[in-house]
Structure 1
Amino acid sequence: MDRREIAALLAYIGRLDPRTIRTDQGEARDQLAQWHELLGDVPMATPHGWDARVVARQHIRTSPYQILPADVSRPWDSYRRDRLARHCDPTPSADPDDQRAWTAELVGTRRAVAAGTAQPAQARAISSGREGIDPGLEAMVREVDSCIPPAARVALAPYRPARAAREMAVILGEPDALSVRCDWCKAQPGEPCRRRRLGPDDGVRAATPRGTPHPGRLDLAAARRTPRDDEAEQPSMA
């Protein structure tokens, strides 16, 4: 509140509780300066439920003690804490790679919620539809078509050869070997095959990931692959 709003609030309180009225000009000036110093960051009213006049009236109705600036600032702090506790940060529309813009949008949303100029965002329930998706994010997903951009995928290929080989096989229409369990090294679906190192006692001493799956795993994936629509069986001819 600025000084004019503080003066209006004091005039309103004076009509309800004459004990707060200061008839001396110096005392009135000091009272105005004190209240402005303590309530300068407290708004007079917000679009979502906060009104300093309502708080003052409630205090005068329920308390026999003369109202103080703290009797207005404490409810305001509780109001802010309650709104932030009910707020669930929505996904910013800024580019996630732009850390500064992403953080600025998060902070701006929280400040708006705490200041009472925006409603707290509630966590949305899981649904099967696509309602409420930000148009900018949806366009970005369509452009990238993956959580990993193409340039980053190419740069990561040398460091994850099994994953790169799997992606290339899918692109070429070949069977996905990592979709089945390997009977040779016992690798589970989604995990790369491993090369076992045997010790002098024929015990397994180490197992390192292979860049390519075992041949038996490729055969098993090819046997279990479902035919594509364009490879559906044609009607037999008499």
Structure 2
Amino acid sequence: MDRREIAALLAYIGRLDPRSIRTDEGEARDQLAQWHELLGDVPMATSHGWDARVAARQHYRTSPYQIQPADVVRPWESYRRNRLALHWDPTPSADPDDQAAWTAELVGTRRAVAAGTAQPAYAPAITSSQEELNPRLQARLNEIGSCIPPAARAALAPFRPARAAREAAVAQGLPDALSVRCEWCLAPVGEPCRRRRIGPNDRVRTITPRTDPHPGRLDLAAAKQAQRTEKAQQPALA
């Protein structure tokens, strides 16, 4: 708040509590300087729920004592903490290789949320999955074609052979074996099939992931893919 806003706030407080009114010019000037020093970084009001006059009115509704600058600062700090607690940092639209621009955009967004000039960005998992991406991010994703660039995907292929085999099969139009549960090794959906090594006492010694899925899992995935295709080709019922 600037000095004019501080003066307006003190005038409003004077209407609520005449005890806070300073009739002497020197005392009024000192009071204005004190409040401006302590509330200079607190806004008078924001478009997202903060108003210093509401904080002053709430003080007099719950306390018989004269208001002090701290009685306005405390609600403001609580307001900032609550907004930052609700905020989920969205992915900046800046180039991630430009660390300075990336950090500046992230910090700027947090400061805007804390200052009450922007609404907190909620996590997509607790809002809607239909929320549109930032236009710049969407354009970059369309250009690359994937969240992982092709060069990085090729470099990672030797270290995750099961994922590479799955992506190659899907690219060729083959059924995705990992989309169903394996009835042979009981591998859940999304995880590769497993190879069990049995010890002399017929107990499982180790379990290692397989690069290629079991044939039965492939057959089950192909059957489910055929069912989905047949269902999609059926005419829609009126």
Residue of structure 2 in register with 1:92 after alignment: 91
- Aligned CA distance change for structure 1 residues 48 and 125 (closer, same or farther; 3 Å): closer
Q: Secondary structure at the match of 1:197?
A: strand
**Superimposed CA distance per residue, residues 122-149 of structure 1 (whole angstroms, 9 cap, x where no aligned partner):** 566436xx45443233333333433433
Cα pair 2:93 2:134 within 8 Å, conserved:
no
Larger Rg: 1
- Aligned CA distance change for structure 1 residues 81 and 165 (closer, same or farther; 3 Å): closer
Q: After the TM superposition, which residues 36-185 of structure 1 pair with which residues of structure 2 at under 5 Å, given as runs?
A: 36-53=36-53, 55-56=55-56, 65-84=65-84, 87-89=86-88, 91-95=90-94, 97=96, 101-121=101-121, 125-126=127-128, 130=130, 132-179=132-179, 182=182, 185=185
- TM-score normalized by the length of structure 1: 0.68
- Aligned CA distance change for structure 1 residues 131 and 45 (closer, same or farther; 3 Å): closer
Cα pair 1:175 1:221 within 8 Å, conserved:
no
Distance in 2 between residues matched to 1:61 and 1:163, nearest whole Å: 63
What letter corresponds to residue 91 of structure 1 in structure 2?
A: P
Q: CA deviation at 1:5?
A: 3.7
Q: Secondary structure at the match of 2:196?
A: strand
Residue of structure 2 in register with 1:232 after alignment: none
Distance in 2 between residues matched to 1:120 and 1:219, nearest whole Å: 45
**Superimposed CA distance per residue, residues 167-211 of structure 1 (whole angstroms, 9 cap, x where no aligned partner):** 222223445444555565454454333333333344432232233
Q: CA deviation at 1:84?
A: 4.2
Range with bigger deviation, 203-212 or 96-105? 96-105
What letter corresponds to residue 197 of structure 1 in structure 2?
A: R
List gaps (5 residues or longer) in structure 1. 230-238
Residue of structure 1 in register with 2:236 after alignment: none
- TM-score normalized by the length of structure 2: 0.68
Q: CA deviation at 1:114?
A: 2.7
- Aligned CA distance change for structure 1 residues 31 and 160 (closer, same or farther; 3 Å): same
Q: Sequence identity, in percent?
A: 68
- Aligned CA distance change for structure 1 residues 171 and 22 (closer, same or farther; 3 Å): same
- Aligned CA distance change for structure 1 residues 157 and 48 (closer, same or farther; 3 Å): closer
Distance in 2 between residues matched to 1:52 and 1:19, nearest whole Å: 16
List gaps (5 residues or longer) in structure 2. 230-238
**Superimposed CA distance per residue, residues 36-67 of structure 1 (whole angstroms, 9 cap, x where no aligned partner):** 22212222333344443454466568865433
Q: Secondary structure at the match of 1:226?
A: helix
Q: CA deviation at 1:8?
A: 4.8
What letter corresponds to residue 158 of structure 2 in structure 1?
A: P
Residue of structure 1 in register with 2:194 after alignment: 194
Q: After the TM superposition, which residues 206-221 of structure 1 pair with which residues of structure 2 at under 5 Å, given as runs?
A: 206-214=206-214, 216-217=215-216, 220=219
- Aligned CA distance change for structure 1 residues 150 and 20 (closer, same or farther; 3 Å): same
> Is 1:23 aligned to residue 24 of structure 2?
yes
What letter corresponds to residue 20 of structure 1 in structure 2?
A: I
Q: CA RMSD in A?
A: 4.0
What letter corresponds to residue 195 of structure 2 in structure 1?
A: R
